[in-house]
Structure 1
Amino acid sequence: MRNFDLTPLYRSAIGFDRLANMIDTANRNEQQPAFPPYNIELLGENEYRITMAIAGFSKEELDIQSESGSLTIKGAKAADEAERTYLYQGIAGRNFERRFQLADHVKVVKASVENGLLHVDLVREVPEAMKARQIPIES
């Protein structure tokens, strides 16, 4: 992977050092495994949904945690008492852990399981003090 030198950004921008640090971190992170597949949808101006294919997992086998700007979704299959002999096994039943870095002021609203898909709804709530406001010009 290519390395980018972001030091000019540090010198010419005020307050964007956190953004540059996030880009640096993203460049250094290892690739996440491709299981389970997921989509990230934009539902509205400040509403998002993560949809993850979790075929074969019950909601009791899933764990969703949101902590300090990070969302972690884990799936752990319960031990199967009956040993099975598969002629072909195409449905993955392995444990997984996915981490998502949440932007500032994004929080998890709800999670639901429907038709083998896990839906995690997110919303960005920007505080009033941080919203754009019109500044009157005095003469």
Structure 2
Amino acid sequence: MKIDLTPLYANTVGFDRFGSLLDAALSADRQSAGYPPYDIELVGENKYAITLAVAGFQDNEIDVQVELGVLTVRGRKDEAKKDSRYLHRGIATRSFERKFNLADHVEVVNAQLDNGLLKISLVKEIPEAMKPRKIPVGNTTQAIENAVES
């Protein structure tokens, strides 16, 4: 299903990323949408954590990258260990790729693998120029005096 968002672009400025996010969401492969399972947690006021259940993967088999506001986590299992014979195989060790769209000013701090859980720490750091600031309100006489003194 493809939606043409061209009319939306004609009347908006700066929302180009919104359209591509919508296109990506509509065309995503639904079969792999559930693997690996994950949690997104609010850890503090501007701190977040994404935890993925990656049982059976070693740290050298997992790749975490951030590019253009998209966090990508990939897992590739070493195929050299196929000499085992299983009577039942319930632990999923297939390759995966999971993407997360990051909001503006959200940065990845680190990633740690512990007991089959990959925990990615994120922090939202708003630049000083974008933080709200108080503008003092004075009368016209004070404004003119301050401008003359400068």
Distance between the aligned counterparts of 2:27 and 2:111, measured in 1? 27
**Counterpart in the other structure of 2:35:** 35
Segments of 4+ in structure 1 off by > 4 A? none
Structure having the higher Rg: 2
**Counterpart in the other structure of 2:57:** 57
TM-score (norm 1): 0.81
Distance between the aligned counterparts of 1:79 and 1:27, measured in 2? 31
Of 18, 21, 28, 2:19 maps to 21
SS at 1:83 equivalent: coil
Distance between the aligned counterparts of 2:79 and 2:22, measured in 1? 40
Residue 37 of structure 1: CA displacement?
Answer: 0.3
Unaligned runs of 5+ in 2: 140-150
* Structure with greater helix share of residues: 2
Distance between the aligned counterparts of 1:135 and 1:29, measured in 2? 46
Residue 28 of structure 1: CA displacement?
Answer: 2.8
Which residue identity does 1:35 align to in structure 2? Y
Residue 63 of structure 1: CA displacement?
Answer: 0.6
* Deviation readout 1:80-118 (Å, 9 max, x if unpaired): 345222111100110001111111111110100111100
Q: CA 1:24–1:138 in 2, change beyond 3 Å: closer, same or farther? A: farther
**Counterpart in the other structure of 1:133:** 133
Residue 67 of structure 1: CA displacement?
Answer: 1.3
Distance between the aligned counterparts of 1:81 and 1:21, measured in 2? 43
**Counterpart in the other structure of 2:98:** 98
Which residue identity does 1:119 align to in structure 2? K
Distance between the aligned counterparts of 1:27 and 1:79, measured in 2? 31
Which residue identity does 1:104 align to in structure 2? D
**Counterpart in the other structure of 1:47:** 47
What value does the CA root-mean-square deviation take over the aligned residues?
2.7
Unaligned runs of 5+ in 1: none
**Counterpart in the other structure of 1:75:** 75
SS at 2:110 equivalent: strand
Which residue identity does 2:28 align to in structure 1? E
Residue 25 of structure 1: CA displacement?
Answer: 3.5
Q: CA 1:132–1:51 in 2, change beyond 3 Å: closer, same or farther? A: same
Q: CA 1:130–1:22 in 2, change beyond 3 Å: closer, same or farther? A: farther
Distance between the aligned counterparts of 1:44 and 1:19, measured in 2? 27
